[in-house]
Amino acid sequence: QLQLQESGPGLVKPSETLSLTCTVSGDSISSRSYFWGWIRQPPGKGLEWIGSMSQSGSTYYNPSLKSRVTISVDTSKNQFSLKLRYVTAADTAVYFCARGSPTGTTTLNNWGQGTLVTVSS
Amino acid sequence: QSALTQPPSVSGSPGQSVTISCTGTSSDVGSYNLVSWYQQPPGTAPKVMIYEVSNRPSGVPDRFSGSKSGNTASLSISGLQAEDEADYYCSSYTGSNSVIFGGGTKLTVL
């Protein structure tokens, strides 16, 4: 059974870089052609798509975050990662990783439980 | 890129039917049959209920159905049950492998 688990610091200082990892179990990131994505949800607010990455390594980002975001993969560890630079309080949110379909992340079929990241000094 | 527009809240009594709308533009909902709907009970991760406008993943009750007309997609839930109470989000493809979500709708089962 596919499982995704986010991990990383729960507290990040303003202007620093938020770094999260999603560990995938129950399937190999490199064995089949799926898209993998990151989504966030500020406390009490709605979902925001951050970006996605194909199995081949192509990346796609939310235009509003594109200048600060990098998504990458480490197939040897069966993980993919999110880096968000120059964070502010507005980046405080629960961050989810998810698996899409072979064609993209328009449908996110499997989600991690989410991890809360607070941006504060 | 503004979020898709959903009503903040809807409600219904057990057994009744409700419909949640999701309004976008001709650049997203109106251009692609790639609308999904997610159910999110409090404190949990979202779960896909509908994909590609009207398809149900296995395990999702047929009480849930989706449709689209022009720039507006809709999620209908018939035979409301207490367990349906949750936040619901729509999402749409916007082109260039980008996705946008709706603002979310809180469903209350009275």
What confidence category does residue B85 fall into, taking pLDDT thresholds of 50, 70 and 90?
Answer: very high
Nearest CA to B74 out of B17, B106, B31, B35 is that of B35
pLDDT > 90? residue B18:
yes
How many whole angstroms separate alpha carbon B51 and alpha carbon B48?
A: 7
Tens digits of residue pLDDT in A16-53: 999 999 999 998 888 778 999 999 999 999 999 999 99
User: Do A68 and A50 touch, CB atoms closer than 8 A?
Assistant: no
Q: Measure B101 CA to nearest chain A CA, in Å.
A: 6
Judging contacts by C-beta atoms under 8 Å, the chain A residues touching residue B45 are: 96, 111-114
d(Cα A50, Cα B97) in Å, to the nearest integer? 12
Q: Do the Cβ atoms of A111 and B46 come within 8 Å? A: yes
Sign of CA dihedral A64, A70, A73, A79: negative
State the CB neighbour count (10 A cutoff) for residue B46: 26
Q: Partners of B4 in the beta sheet? A: B102
Q: B46 and A104: CB-CB below 8 Å? A: no
Which residues on B lie below 8 Å from A106 (Cβ)?
32, 34, 36, 51-52, 91-93, 99
Distance between B80 CA and the closest CA of chain A, angstroms: 23
